[in-house]
């Protein structure tokens, strides 16, 4: 288990985050899963049904939605165990703060404006005209282009690249390998070959955003690519030029959004989801993993697509029909017509009107 830098009493956590303690107050030094918890750990259980796994958990205390007398340890009853645990993690494992230092090896253009309380790691490059705000941490090997603006209390992990002119808000975290502001995929065909269309827009990322490892967000062609406040992007996501993502939308790994599409606020986009370009996804839409979305979706709700995995022989037998369904539908229609006709005929016979 990860050692925490800080221990905390349950009463302290409950005072800050709400909840009711049933049992002795204990001091916890870490948070652990039900399987791994040991004495001194806090664990949690998000369902309400009795669980043997919970009963045999060795944690000193348990965060639960509902008290259950069968569990021996101290219970902290809360509305939302996940939220309580998340906030407790921040107490037990305080977030890394800026060391307010610049590594001697960082290369910072003399016109760049780096707040004195920022932390700049080894081999970081910051080009001309850029700004880095108070409390922000830029870790080793990151390259920040010209005229980039990064707000306060951001954490940029090692080896991120931010191309020129991009704007990042406050308290935003970007994981290693992410590339912000690379050229959008713009090419004009001249009859014989492609001519690159320069991309003179930029990327604007809001505050309280988290961007995963190796995720790529392209700069706009003319207008900007916009990632609103509170957005969560997982790893290996591709955001094409001029995409706009609304506030608090979360996208899981390997998803991709093609150019000029607008995704609303509070959407949940599953892993590997592909969203076509030049469409609109309304607020509050959930796209389950594996969805391929070619057209705008205007109604909030949950959407899905895809062919679930099946044994190979079953798939081999069935996949040939994926291109014969139109024909199958016609054959059914024909059968239905004929049976109507023959039903009418039979009816006619019975009525003596044939």
Instruction: Kindly identify the residues of this chain, within the stretch 121-160, that bind its own copies according to CB under 8 A.
Output: 121-123, 125, 139-141, 143, 145, 157-159
Total site size for its own copies, rule CB under 8 A: 133
**Closest approach of its own copies to the CB of residue 345, in Å:** 8
The Cα angle at residue 92 between residues 87 and 98, in degrees rounded to 5: 90
Q: What are phi and psi of 274, to 5 degrees?
A: -115, 125
**Closest approach of its own copies to the CB of residue 118, in Å:** 18
Q: Among residue numbers 213 through 242, which ones bind its own copies (CB under 8 A)?
A: 213-214, 216, 218, 222-223, 230, 232, 234-236, 238, 240
5 touches its own copies (CB under 8 A): no
318 touches its own copies (CB under 8 A): yes
344 touches its own copies (CB under 8 A): no
329 touches its own copies (CB under 8 A): yes
8 touches its own copies (CB under 8 A): no
Q: Quick check: 21 and 71 in contact, CB under 8 A?
A: no
* Residue 183 CB neighbours (<10 A): 17
105 touches its own copies (CB under 8 A): yes
Beta bridge partners of 244: 226, 262
> How does DSSP assign 186-219, residue by residue?
-EEE-SSSEEE------EEE-SS-EE-TT-EEEP
**Closest approach of its own copies to the CB of residue 353, in Å:** 16
In terms of CB distance, is 5 or 69 closer to its own copies?
5
Q: How many angstroms separate the CA atoms of 94 and 86, rounded?
A: 12
Q: How many angstroms separate the CA atoms of 262 and 281, rounded?
A: 6
Q: How many angstroms separate the CA atoms of 214 and 219, rounded?
A: 16
Q: Among residue numbers 41 through 70, which ones bind its own copies (CB under 8 A)?
A: none
Q: Which of 129, 134, 284, 290 binds its own copies (CB under 8 A)?
A: 290
Q: Which of 52, 116, 323, 353 binds its own copies (CB under 8 A)?
A: 323
Q: Which of 48, 66, 314, 347 binds its own copies (CB under 8 A)?
A: 314
Tokens representing 230? Answer: 């509170």
Binding mask 245-274 for its own copies (x = CB under 8 A): ---x-x-xxx-x-x------------xx-x
Q: How many angstroms separate the CA atoms of 63 and 205, rounded?
A: 35
| 157 in catalytic set | no
Q: How many residues does the chain have?
A: 354
Q: How many angstroms separate the CA atoms of 166 and 163, rounded?
A: 7
Q: Among residue numbers 158 through 217, which ones bind its own copies (CB under 8 A)?
A: 158-159, 161, 163, 165, 173, 175-177, 179, 182-183, 185-190, 192-198, 200-202, 208, 210, 212-214, 216
| Candidates 109, 157, 175, 241; catalytic one | 241
Q: Which of 6, 47, 72, 302 binds its own copies (CB under 8 A)?
A: 302
Tokens representing 154? Answer: 């951001």
Positive or negative, the CA dihedral 268, 270, 272, 276 is negative
Q: How many angstroms separate the CA atoms of 64 and 80, rounded?
A: 8
Tokens representing 208? Answer: 């309280």
**Closest approach of its own copies to the CB of residue 25, in Å:** 22
**Closest approach of its own copies to the CB of residue 171, in Å:** 10
Which active-site residues does the annotation give? 241
């Amino acid at each position: 288990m990860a050692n925490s830098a800080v221990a905390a009493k349950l009463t302290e956590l409950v005072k800050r985050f709400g909840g009711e303690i049933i049992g002795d107050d204990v001091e916890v030094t870490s948070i652990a899963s039900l399987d791994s918890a040991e004495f001194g750990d806090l664990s949690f259980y998000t369902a309400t049904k009795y669980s043997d796994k919970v009963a045999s958990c060795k944690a000193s205390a348990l965060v639960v939605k509902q008290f259950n007398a069968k569990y021996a340890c101290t219970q902290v009853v809360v509305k939302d165990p996940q939220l309580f645990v998340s906030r407790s993690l921040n107490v037990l494992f305080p977030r890394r703060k800026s060391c307010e230092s610049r590594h001697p090896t960082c290369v910072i253009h003399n016109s760049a404006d780096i707040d004195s309380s920022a932390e700049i790691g080894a081999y970081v490059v910051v080009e001309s005209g850029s700004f880095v705000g108070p409390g922000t941490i830029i870790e080793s090997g990151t390259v920040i282009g010209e005229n980039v603006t990064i707000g306060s209390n951001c954490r940029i992990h090692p080896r991120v690249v931010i191309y020129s002119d991009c704007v990042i808000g406050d308290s935003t975290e970007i994981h290693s390998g992410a590339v912000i502001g690379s050229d959008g995929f713009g090419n004009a065909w001249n009859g014989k070959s492609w001519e690159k269309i320069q991309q003179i827009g930029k990327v604007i990322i809001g505050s309280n955003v988290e961007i995963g490892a190796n995720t790529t967000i392209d700069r706009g062609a003319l207008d900007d690519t916009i990632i609103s406040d509170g957005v969560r992007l997982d790893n290996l996501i591709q955001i094409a030029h001029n995409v706009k993502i609304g506030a608090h939308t979360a996208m899981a790994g390997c998803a991709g959004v093609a150019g000029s599409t607008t995704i609303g606020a509070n959407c949940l986009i599953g892993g590997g989801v592909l969203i076509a370009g030049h469409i609109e996804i309304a607020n509050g839409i959930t796209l389950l993993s594996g969805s391929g979305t070619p057209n705008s979706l205007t109604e909030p709700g949950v959407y899905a697509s895809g062919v679930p995995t099946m044994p190979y022989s079953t798939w081999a037998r069935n996949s040939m029909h994926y291109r014969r369904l139109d024909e199958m539908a016609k054959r059914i229609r024909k059968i239905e017509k004929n049976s109507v006709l023959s039903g009418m005929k039979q009816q006619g016979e019975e009525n003596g009107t044939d």
